[in-house]
Chain A
């Protein structure tokens, strides 16, 4: 399938893109952006204890462990991170690893849906990259992050793409023109994917689409406030976008904001949600999973994958 220039930058979350591009866009780019965003506020992760929530395949963590030299970096995900696969990806990408193994300061731990197996205040920094659009219960998880963070700790969250933005489906490989979530119904989306794609990948990506929580930038802020965080710095990602008629009912602030990077600190007291931003972010949730099951049962591909309920990685 063809991907034009406009969507070329979306390669970093495209499940079908060249594995080397995928590796580099996380090992170099994502890790570098995290380091830089902290550094802009005079913060170094060197020698600190860092947790990554929703670490997925761990590539970003490997990059972070090398670039930022934390004392300890733990990647948490509800799906176990495959160390051997990570090592293999690093070798393929030509990354030099001392002793041909993962760095000693890097660890991966499987978490529960809203439970991080870690001591209170045991991390100086928590990072999260492209995970919070998948998390079914953002507020409880953020409370859990607050628990494991020291009182002076800082939370970094990156989220891209927001559901209502052009490529919010995560299905750019099949719908490079964007806004498939408003142009097509689910059956058409699934059929389009099945017509061109590895069945296992199609099943995984369709389920990921179905279970997106559809959180907006303002809802992420409201969730952070509810969990007792205050946003201290933020950068929104905004791209010029053409709005198809089917999406013209959406707020400009939702269509026009495709991503976010932020730093948050612990607030004194968890605050009540504010005004318009207070709505519950989770819209797809369990219903989405059910719909995904129903639709996929019509196919004979990779049904087993559906039973590993998840979203949480960086895909």
Chain B
């Protein structure tokens, strides 16, 4: 059967090589609006509320949510200190802003510790972060701690490790499934040789430290941390399956992402129906 090469369309938002304007729009406009709409679909408004973003990265999404939804306060947490000067510069360049809005803060967190009071946030959001987090359950417990009892957690994750572009290396492997097809030594060599060096080493580190979590394992982690999913939307694109991937469960290969809302529940020993083994 012929396998037409499909462009890696839609991958722009995590490809570091794209034009900075594309990157900006994918986060400032698209990601921020997606978060607002996913809450909005359940009649939830962030306006005037206290919002935390776990794994905020460069802070562009937070700026977008701040300006579009006008929460009272938005705090972006990340292990790596967010470069506020760079964000301000970009805000000027792409959105004509002279300064970051009041109410937008960034705080450097530890691996499993968020520097915030108990029950101090009404909503917690997380965008493309939980595939990088080494201890998801511990972080989710911490998220639960800083959230009010009637708070709502939004998580977006894309791409799942086993899906086509789960390696995050689409710039070097647009055909996908490199994580199942190519030995790590070869990936290292290819990515390093293709450069540029700083980006290559950053993305290789990203690839090396992915936690390999699946949709069901994310649900299981939520369950253990004391959350219950109330709304879920999976991402699934039509995908051609190479031989090397044919042994994997369909749901892992074809489910590339997730968006969900979760609320507090009693912590438990994991969702009974889900498989809790991290098999990487």
Contacts and interface: CB of A to CB of B under 8 A. Distances in A.
Genuine A/B complex? yes
B254 A232 contact: no
B250 A221 contact: yes
B236 A257 contact: yes
Nearest to B38: A240
Chain A, interface size category, equals: 35 or more
Interface stretch (A86-94, A172-180, A274-282): A274-282
Interface string A263-298: 101010001001111000000000000000000000
A16 interface: no
A282 B2 CA distance: 34
Interface in B175-224: 214-216, 218-219
Given A220-B250, A241-B232, A276 B275 contact: yes
B10 to A, nearest CB: 15
Contact of A239 (B1, B233, B237): B233
B249 A218 contact: yes
B240 interface: yes
Interface residues of B, number: 44
B280 interface: no
Contacts of B258: 252, 256
A256 B232 contact: yes
Contacts of A257: 234, 236, 251, 255
A100 interface: no
Contacts of B215: 251-253, 256
Given A41-B2, A250-B273, A251-B271, A237 B236 contact: yes
B4 interface: yes
Quick one: which of A236, A239, A276 has the most chain B CB within 10 A? Answer: A236
A252 B219 contact: yes
Contacts of A235: 236-239, 254
A265 B235 CA distance: 25
Nearest to A276: B275
A267 B265 CA distance: 45
Given A249-B271, A252-B218, A253-B216, A233 B255 contact: no
Given A231-B241, A235-B236, A251-B271, 5 more contacts: A236-B255, A240-B259, A256-B232, A257-B236, A276-B249
Interface of B: 1-4, 41-42, 214-216, 218-219, 228-241, 243, 246-251, 253-255, 258-260, 265, 271-275
